[in-house]
Chains A and B, each alone.
Chain A
Amino acid sequence: MRLLEYQGKELFNQFGIETPESVLAESAEDARIGSQKLGFPFVLKSQLTVGGRGKAGAIQKCKDSSELETKFGELLMKEVKGELPRGILLEKMVDIVKEIYLSIFLNRSKRCFSIIASSEGGIDIEQTDNKIIQDISIDGISGELANTIASNLNIPDKSKESFVNLLLNLFRVVVEKEAELAEINPLAIISDDSLLALDAKVIIDDNALFRHEDLQKYLYLSDLEKQAAKNGFSFVELEGDIAIIGNGAGLVMSTLDMVTAANGKAGAFLDFGGRATSETIYEALKVISRLPKIKTILVNLYGGIVRTDLVALGILEAYKNNILTVPVYARISGAQSERAKELLNGSKARLFDTVEEAINALVLKINNNQTK
């Protein structure tokens, strides 16, 4: 779960990491009240989970109330990479003396957390060689190590102690709140030598959410995602019109790749996990049925204990109850496949022996429809 900037900053504040004074506004009314509290000028920052806000124009300076009128409304309606903001953060500007990059991230191949730090703040960290990467133990960061990092970053002496404390606190955010990433970019040293986190990018481990009640309020799912999650499905909405359903993340991804390679456009990814029964397929079709853009469904099931006839019954049930109206192309490898074929005979669902055949038939059908 990627937190919004203001949520990440709320966490930072809980752990003693300071941020500029700010107000979250979800409406023009909020923004007016907020502006009185903060005083002009300030920055308007669109609250999005996607990166590249600055380049996209989703961060704007605001000098007076007439600018606030126009810019606030514009930003609130401005989509970035397909995402609408969930509020605008009004944030006080500060006198920056120096900007730093600092993050702690899950280093997957080393199976530990690592610190990345750079004396150039506000940059794309992937694009610079000027950085320090330091692996750390889950048991903690020593003051000595934090001091060394401060020296390597050329942190002025007056701010060194604040930096060391901030780094230790950032580590506490990661371990105590179970984050995969906690990034401050930029971290500013301001004119009074103190440190302020000007941005916050925090990604929480979804699998740890069950033991962090305080973070669950940040979980933001569409109705469709909620319905999928309730059933234990993994669901991702995509841009095309073909829904891909299967049992197992790798298998569904692989099917998505094959559909894309055949010039099909996938509109949904749904992995319903290990159990392939008439109920799971029915529930999966129910989720997909809520996406009107889906014109075709591709089902790819593989496993030793999949009863294809039961899956076929689930598909038929969905047609009968008008949950499902679009055609289904299915490859279901398992027991009783002859019986499954008989069952589906006469319905809008077709069963194939291989996924390649199912995809070919599906793409051919779509192309024929387009040329008609």
Chain B
Amino acid sequence: MSTQFDIFRILSGDESDADFEKKPVIIQGITGSFGSTHTKLMRSYGTNIAAGVTPGKGGSKFEDVPVFNTVEEAVKSSGSVISGIFVPAPFFYKAAKESLDNGIKLIVAIPEHVPIIDSIKVYEYAHKKGARMIGPNTPGVIIPEIMKVGIMPAQPFTKGNTVVFSRSGTLMYEVSFHLSNSGFGQRLGLGIGGDPINGTNLIDSFELIRNRGDVDSVVVVGEIGGDAEEQLADYIIKTNFSKPVVAYIAGRSAPKEKRMGHAGAIVYGNYGSADSKINNYAKADVPVANSPREVPLLLRAKIRK
């Protein structure tokens, strides 16, 4: 929990900055099929992709973005402190470590299937360096209508004052789509990631927006597995978190001890069950929607209270 880390300042900057809303971002793995597809989409959304890294392809260009062999060169050339990592999971640890060693302060870790021990090591190293990791196995982070670092589609998101935190990619899109349709635009959409270890977990996420005047409500899209929702409910109670919060939980009907698509979506005994999460949310007065479509309805009711 760090209140020092201001994700909005990092991603979009202050109005007085010359590059306000145009902060430079580097992409590690920019020439891979995944990295290149999404570099194009991020640029067309408005993200300032200032440099890319692919070892062995230094000196070339992707579209008109310069490509470097190392993060060191990419950072020197762009002045970026944000890196979107699109390399395959087995190479993630090395890529993340390299970025942290060269001044990156925010890693957006896209790859799925990163080994748990690698995630823990990167998380600990980032902590030591005063940096932050979002993910792994995350769709990324979006400030609607300004910029995104990630793989989320553009059209579900609209500008507004609700924040969406999600353990699932597609459900983040789906829920944001229903929110947008109901007039709840988003100040921020952040994918926690579907893995057991999250560089930025739900409580860290709440700390990011806790004191912001431009955020007036929060939607948390969770799922079975682990105790992130239980811990969050406890946090909401103990810290008197005052903004309206509505939740959704996927996987209520999933069988026990089966991994439901995400590495983190697995129930052992009562640990990680939907019931446990719903019960804890009830204690924190957080309503839980029965379907993505119900989220804006519950949010409206909660705000009226």
Q: Which residues of A contact B (CB under 8 A)?
A: 2, 49-51, 106, 108-109, 111-112, 126, 138, 175, 178, 180, 205-208, 210-211, 234, 236, 238, 246-254, 256-261, 266, 269, 271, 273-274, 302-305, 354, 356
Contacts and interface: CB of A to CB of B under 8 A. Distances in A.
A207 B171 contact: no
A252 B261 contact: yes
Contacts of A246: 170
7 contacts: A111-B123, A236-B258, A248-B168, A258-B291, A269-B260, A354-B293, A356-B293
A266 B258 CA distance: 15
Contacts of A49: 257
B194 interface: yes
Interface of B: 89-90, 112-117, 120-121, 123-124, 151-156, 166-174, 177, 194, 196-198, 201, 221, 223-224, 226-228, 231, 248, 250-255, 257-265, 269-271, 290-293
B171 A208 contact: no
Contact of B113 (A112, A207, A354): A207
Contacts of B123: 111
B90 A211 contact: yes
B171 A250 contact: yes
A2 to B, nearest CB: 8
Contact of A138 (B121, B223, B262): B121
Contact of B153 (A2, A261, A305): A305
A207 B120 contact: no
Contact of A271 (B120, B255, B261, B290): B261
Contacts of A175: 117
Contacts of A260: 252-253
A126 B271 contact: yes
A249 B227 contact: no
A251 B264 contact: no
A180 B172 CA distance: 27
Contact of A126 (B155, B196, B270): B270
Nearest to B156: A304
B250 A254 contact: yes
Given A109-B227, A269-B261, A207 B115 contact: yes
B260 A234 contact: yes
A206 B197 CA distance: 14
B187 to A, nearest CB: 20
A207 B266 CA distance: 15
A234 to B, nearest CB: 4
A260 B254 CA distance: 10
Given A178-B117, A249-B262, A304-B153, A257 B253 contact: yes
A254 B154 contact: no
A266 B196 contact: no
Closest 3 CB pairs of A and B: A304-B153, A250-B168, A249-B261
A252 B261 CA distance: 9
Contacts of A258: 291
B292 A254 contact: yes
B261 A234 contact: yes
B234 to A, nearest CB: 10
Nearest to B197: A111
A108 B264 contact: yes
Nearest to A271: B261
B154 to A, nearest CB: 6
B173 to A, nearest CB: 6
A112 B121 CA distance: 9
Contacts of A108: 196-197, 226-228, 264
B116 A261 contact: no
Nearest to B155: A304
Contact of A250 (B152, B197, B223, B253): B223
B252 A257 contact: yes
B117 A208 contact: yes
Given A250-B223, A356-B291, A206 B263 contact: yes
Contact of B168 (A2, A249, A356): A249
A251 B168 contact: yes
A131 B251 CA distance: 30
B162 to A, nearest CB: 19
B130 to A, nearest CB: 17
A246 B252 CA distance: 17
Contacts of B166: 250
Contacts of B151: 274
A253 B174 CA distance: 13
Contacts of B169: 248, 250, 274
B196 A253 contact: no
B33 to A, nearest CB: 10
